[in-house]
């Protein structure tokens, strides 16, 4: 089964972490991706640009409303994701515990719904 691990943290607090530590966290994330890949569990992962680079699109009654970021008034923002294969929730939790972002924020686990008729995933 596929699971999406959504990594959330406070962007302002993250920016205050020394660059050397942030680089180590990125290296740990990359290493985790390679470990998952060696077990056939890796699908995709990526950090996201800051919230201020985001855009919200809403369509109501046929009319579009586009809003530039920042747009969330929360303490934590979506910072990145891991899309993985895991046999169950317990295995997914053990993987989420290894995500470096879990030490400074949270990792939300969401099972991915499999829907017939979608195009196949392409490698980039």
Q: What confidence tens digit (pLDDT) does each residue in 53-111 have?
A: 888 888 999 999 888 876 556 678 899 999 999 999 999 999 999 999 999 999 999 99
Work out the angle at residue 94's Cα, subtended by the Cα atoms of residues 90 and 97, and round it to the nearest 5 degrees. Answer: 135
pLDDT digits (tens, 9 = 90+) for 35-51: 999 999 999 999 999 88
Indicate the SS3 state at residue 47: strand
Residue range of the domain that includes 7: 2-111
C-beta of residue 102 within 8 angstroms of C-beta of residue 96: yes
Alpha-carbon gap, residue 49 to 46, rounded angstroms: 10
Assigned domain for 52 exists: yes
The pTM is what?
A: 0.86
Q: How many CB atoms lie within 10 A of CB 14?
A: 17
Q: How many domains does the chain have?
A: 1
Does 121 map to a domain? Answer: no
CATH code where residue 98 lies: 3.30.70.1060
């Amino acid at each position: 089964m596929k699971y999406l691990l959504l990594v959330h943290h406070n962007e302002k607090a993250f920016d205050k972490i020394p660059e050397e530590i942030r680089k180590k966290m990125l290296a740990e994330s990359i290493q985790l991706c390679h470990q998952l890949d060696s077990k056939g569990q890796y699908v995709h992962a990526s950090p996201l640009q800051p919230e201020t680079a985001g855009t919200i699109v809403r369509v109501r009654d046929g009319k579009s409303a586009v809003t530039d970021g920042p747009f969330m008034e929360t303490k934590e923002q979506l910072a990145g994701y891991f899309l993985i294969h895991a046999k169950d929730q317990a295995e997914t939790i053990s993987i989420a515990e290894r995500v470096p972002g879990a030490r400074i924020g949270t990792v939300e686990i969401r099972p991915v719904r499999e829907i017939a008729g979608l195009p196949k995933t392409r490698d980039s």
